[in-house]
Structures are given as C-alpha cells and as structure tokens.
Chain A
Amino acid sequence: MKKTTAARNFASRALTIVQLIGHFSSGRRIFMLPILLLILIASILLVLAGGLSYVAPFVYAIV
C-alpha cells in the first residue's frame, strides 16, 4: 500500500516537473530556464546556510 502511494506521489511530482519545464521552455520564456536553475541552486544554498545572515556581507556588497 505504502509503495503504491509512494509511486503515485513520484509520478505526480514527475508530471509537475515535466509541466514546469514545458512551461518555461515554450516561446520567449526559454531564456528564463537558466535563471530558474540559478534560483533553485541559490534557494537550496540559502536554506542550507540557515537564512541570509551568513551571506549578508556579500549581499550588502553587491547591492
């Protein structure tokens, strides 16, 4: 039962990822794909760093 639910959740997420990539791949949005990738990586780093406080000096330096 748990395996079935997990498989269904995985299939569901996969479909969303396909649709997300499909959305950003269409028309003039394709230029946003690298930006989206960069944002995803930056988001993961920020979450891992526990927020903005660790990177604050760099933030202030660039803005």
Chain B
Amino acid sequence: MSAVLGVSAYYHDSAAALIIDGKIVAAMQEERFSRRKNDPGLPKRAAQACLDQGGITAEDLDRVVFYENPFARLERVVMSSLEAFPHSWRQFPSALQSQIGGKVWVLDGIAAMLGVPRSLVTTVGHHESHAASAFFPSPFEDAAVLTIDGMGEAESTAIWHGVGAGLQCLASIPYPHSIGLLYAAVTAFLGFEVNEGEYKVMGLAAFGKPRFNTEFAKLLRLQSDGAFELGMEYFAFHTDTNIAFSPKLEHLLGPARQRGKTWNLGKDGDDQRFADIAASLQWITEEALLGLAREARRRTGSANLCLAGGVALNCVANARVLRESGFSRLFVQPAAGDADGALGAAILGTIALDGARPEAMTSAALGVAISTDAARALCTSLGIGWQEPADVLDAAAGLVLEGKVGAFARGRFEWGPRALGQRSIIAAPQDPGMRDRINQIVKKREPFRPFAPAVLRDRAGEWFAAHDNDMTPYMTTTSDVLEHRATDLGAVRHVDGTARIQTVSEEGAPEFFGLLNRMQARGAPPIVLNTSLNGNGEPIVGCEADALAFFLSHPVDFMVLGDVMISKGAVAA
C-alpha cells in the first residue's frame, strides 16, 4: 500500500490531494490558506495540511505526482507560437519567460517545498489527471469520460473510456480549439474577470434569449462527430496574453461591455444584449457538450458518463447532458476545474503503485476541520461573547426559521468551489426578498446571481423534478423546481425556474444533515438557502480566524463556529 500526494499549480487554482492506502484522505486548494482567490502558486500550506490530516510527514510519501507534464506544455507553447507567427511575436517573450523562468522548474519547486528527493516527483498528463479525477472517485466500474477545459499540454478536450483501474484516451481535440477558451473570451467580452467570472456568465444566461445563435455558430463550428473548431479570426488569446478576443468579435456581436459598470437588466435595461449574448454562449456550449457526449457514448457503449475540466462546472449544461445525451447516469465531482488535477494525479500515482483504484468519493468534506477550542480562544482574545447551546444545530435551525441570516462553519471545509454545508451562509429559502438582501448587503454582488437550495435527500422529490442523481450531492447540476412549489422557494428559484440543488445525506454533508433534520423536527421544510461563506472577491472561509473575520465585517445575524454560537449583539464594541 502507499501514500501519494498529488499537486496542481502554476496556472490557476493550485491544490494538493493525499491518498493513503487507497483512501482519499484530504484534498484542499491553496486559496483557502493564502486567502488569494484562485491562487496559482505552489500549494505549500495545502500540501502540509493534507499531510497533517493524514498523520504523516513528507518523508513518508511514496510518490509525489504533478498534474501535467511541464516539458510537453513548453513544447506546445513553442509550437503554437511558431504556428501563429508573426502575430504571436508580442506574446512570445512573456509566454517564454513564464515557461523558462518558472513553469519548467516546477518539479524542482515541489521537491524543495516538501523537502523530498527530486526523483520522487513524477508527472502525468493534464487531461489524464482530469479524467482520473472524474472517473475513479465515481461510483462507476465502466464509464465514458469527457475532459473539457481551456487547455492542457496540447489538447483542450478528450474522450476517454474508464474500466476498473484503467483509463484509455479514445480521441482528443488540440489547442487552440477549445470550449473553455471560447467561454473565457466571451467572459472577458461581457466585462468579467477570466477564470473567475465564468459562473456569473452562466447565471446571467438565464436572463437572456439565445438570439445570437447564428453568430455563435461562426465562433464555434460544430461537426457531426462531436469535434469542433474555433473561428480563430474572432479571438486573440493565441497571439496576445492580455487580450482574449479580436476586434472582429465586436464587429460580430457589437461593442464589448465595460468592466465594473452597474448592471441594468430588464425590459428597458441597456444590458439586455449582454444577457442575450450570455444565453447564446450557454446554448452553443450545451450543443458542443451534447455532441461530445453522444460521440463518447457511441465509442464506448457505456451507460455512464463522467465529466471533468473547468467546463464541467457548468451545472446548467450538465443537467441538459444528462437529459438528452442518452447516458443513464452522469457524475461530476465537486472540484472539476484545474484543482481536480491534484486529485487525479494522486489517484494515478496510487494506481501505478498499488494496481488498484482508490475508494469512491462519498463526501466533499476533505479539508481542515473547525476546532471549537480554537473558536473559543479566538473569541476570548477578541472580546467576543459566545454561547455553547446544548444543541447548536437546533439553535441555528430556530434562528433560520425566524428569518435570520447566519454564517455556518463546522466540520472539514469542502473540496472545490462550492460551499456544501461546511462553510456556508444560510437563510430561509421562501422569501425572494432574502435573495436581494444577501446579494446586496452580505455578498455585495450582481443582482442576477442565484442562490442554491440544500435539501434533505429523502425529501427532495417534494420540491424538485430531477433530484435523484450522482451530481446533486455536489451541486454540479440543476433541477426544475416543481411548479406548484415555486412560492416555497422564492429565494433560491432562478429566473428560468431551476435551482442549483444540493441533496444532503448524513454521509455526504453531516453538518447540514443535522441542521436540516432539526428544521424538519420543528415542522418546517428541510430546505435552506445556501451560499458560500465569503465576501465579494474572497476565497471561501477556511479556518476559525477567517470565519470570525467574515462575521465581523458582514451584516449577518449569527454565526455557528464549531459548537460555538455567536450573535451580532454579543460582539464587544
């Protein structure tokens, strides 16, 4: 048996994951420790936290696996620059400086970071890591796997077949043709930050109509076998590191949106065109994913599908793929972006050493736990009064049912970008005014951003149409809200009638399970509005100090911190 650490870094969202004796012991993103959103640096603190969680030191590791081959990536940078020459001339020095000055030496950096021999550090392929992170934690013995992101070493997209402890690549689409880069370019066009604003575009899409379909068919040319090509004349990411799209895109879609401008949606709003563009992007993305999924089904004959890569975080598209692709089941693990490469790398290292795949993932709670002792000590040192109710979950349930907004930090933090009940802001889901209050005052974000409902798994069918699948525990899909239940869920039902549902079980999210059970015992529906516990532009809360800092700087009514309950009135002046 073995101890393997997987590492992803140097692009965005660096992370570490540890597998010991075939069990996923820990998986964490560096941003939770550094407090820098999507931190791309070496995940020093995340790696140490993983080792601490496993009760081992770096000396006990049998292998450290980096999630991509830095030499193959350098090769792709050189090749694509040569292919785009002379237009790539301006990009070339900075791209090369980034590669030669840092990324090529990443394996040395990892060895030095951990204090292990360099020979212990190995690599696997970028898309292979993605595929491994999607298939091996899934409940399937046999599945088609699609990996779809911006770019790997040379590919942007790949179709795989996973059987038992094996993964085989069946087909791939090379850079620069990439759904992820299309999405990134339009994200920039809409005035959002690339690698951060993509999920805002997905939320915005529901407010628009896909009336730019013809134009988007020029941007992404779909073929009958699932393959696609970008209309490269509309993009600039391959020739300029700072500009994602070319002037031709503005000729096609109209002027790009000014960054930071206040949103004005609605009948007379001047932002309706941008919502329609977002809807058109969502449409073409879904069409591309459906084409790929149907091709994957044709090639593998499997009834099961797994998705990974940043594009797999598009939960609206995932729901449509499950409905229309012909697959019976679809699994998307919660950190499907680049962070998942760390998990995939650790899994591939484990299989190489043990010959067997690790246990399936049953919970996203793979981070560091909140310590009640540490919470008490912090409150004391800051002069903050606290209580320790006999049943803190019941006390929190009571406050939520009174209409209060709470910060909820208990247990081990989540793996991935979604708050799944360990680091959440919670509130009652009925009143639409609650959504506006949290959006404007607490989260300080765009008015079109939806919130998610968390519901007891056994009772989800009372409110949601599509609730019983492999994605709902991790909030990587959406479901229609039953029409006659719409008024029950005014704060979490999106404008298109869907919700980004999380079904809660004791095994998957024990803290939320306890909270929802207390709500049920009080005669209320076991549903809570759930959004991530972070301020605008910040990573989700990690430790006790992060949680208290959030509580003190945001107008929430109470906070559960381990077994400790703090209310705003108890904060010393």
Contacts and interface: CB of A to CB of B under 8 A. Distances in A.
The finding on whether chains A and B are genuine partners in a shared complex, rather than unrelated, reads: yes
Interface of A: 8-9, 11-13, 15-16, 19-20, 23-24, 29, 32, 35-36, 39-40, 43, 46-47, 52, 59, 62-63
Contact of B119 (A15, A32, A36): A15
Nearest to B82: A35
A13 B105 contact: yes
B78 A43 contact: no
Interface stretch (B45-53, B93-101, B217-225, B475-483): B93-101
A15 B100 CA distance: 15
A36 B118 contact: no
A23 B96 contact: no
Given A23-B71, A35-B78, A43-B100, A16 B105 contact: yes
Interface in B48-106: 69, 71-72, 74-75, 78-79, 82, 86, 89-90, 93, 96-97, 100, 104-105
A63 B89 contact: yes
Contacts of B97: 43, 47
Nearest to A11: B118
* Most chain A CB within a 10 A radius of its CB, from B71, B82, B112, B117: B71
Contacts of A46: 93
Contacts of B100: 39-40, 43
A49 B107 CA distance: 29
A20 B71 contact: yes
Interface residues of B, number: 24
Contact of A24 (B75, B107, B117): B75
Contacts of A29: 75
Given A16-B108, A20-B104, A36 B78 contact: yes
A16 B107 contact: yes
B96 to A, nearest CB: 5
Contacts of A15: 118-119
B491 to A, nearest CB: 52
Nearest to A35: B78
B369 interface: no
Contacts of A62: 86
A56 to B, nearest CB: 11
A62 B26 CA distance: 53
B173 interface: no
A32 B78 contact: yes
A32 B93 contact: no
B95 to A, nearest CB: 10
B93 A52 contact: yes
Contacts of A40: 100
A59 B93 contact: no
A8 to B, nearest CB: 8
**A-B complex: 6 closest residue pairs judged by Cβ atoms:** A23-B71, A12-B118, A63-B86, A12-B108, A15-B118, A46-B93
A23 B108 contact: no
B111 interface: yes
Given A8-B118, A20-B71, 8 more contacts: A12-B107, A12-B111, A13-B105, A19-B71, A35-B78, A52-B90, A52-B93, A62-B86
Interface in B104-154: 104-105, 107-108, 111-112, 117-119
B93 A13 contact: no
Given A15-B119, A63-B89, A39 B108 contact: no
Given A12-B108, A12-B111, A12-B112, A32 B75 contact: yes
A59 B108 contact: no
Contact of A23 (B75, B79, B90): B75
B135 to A, nearest CB: 27
Contacts of A23: 69, 71-72, 75
A8 B74 CA distance: 24
Nearest to A40: B100
B112 A9 contact: yes
Given A16-B105, A24-B71, A59 B89 contact: yes
Nearest to A52: B93
B40 to A, nearest CB: 20
A11 B107 CA distance: 12
A9 B78 CA distance: 27
Contacts of A19: 71
12 contacts: A9-B112, A11-B118, A12-B107, A20-B71, A24-B75, A35-B78, A35-B82, A36-B78, A43-B93, A43-B97, A46-B93, A47-B97
Contacts of A9: 108, 112
B108 to A, nearest CB: 4
Contacts of A32: 75, 78-79
Nearest to A59: B89
Given A9-B108, A16-B107, A63-B86, A39 B75 contact: no
A29 B78 CA distance: 11
Contact of A13 (B69, B79, B108, B117): B108
Contacts of B112: 9, 12
Contacts of A20: 71, 74, 104
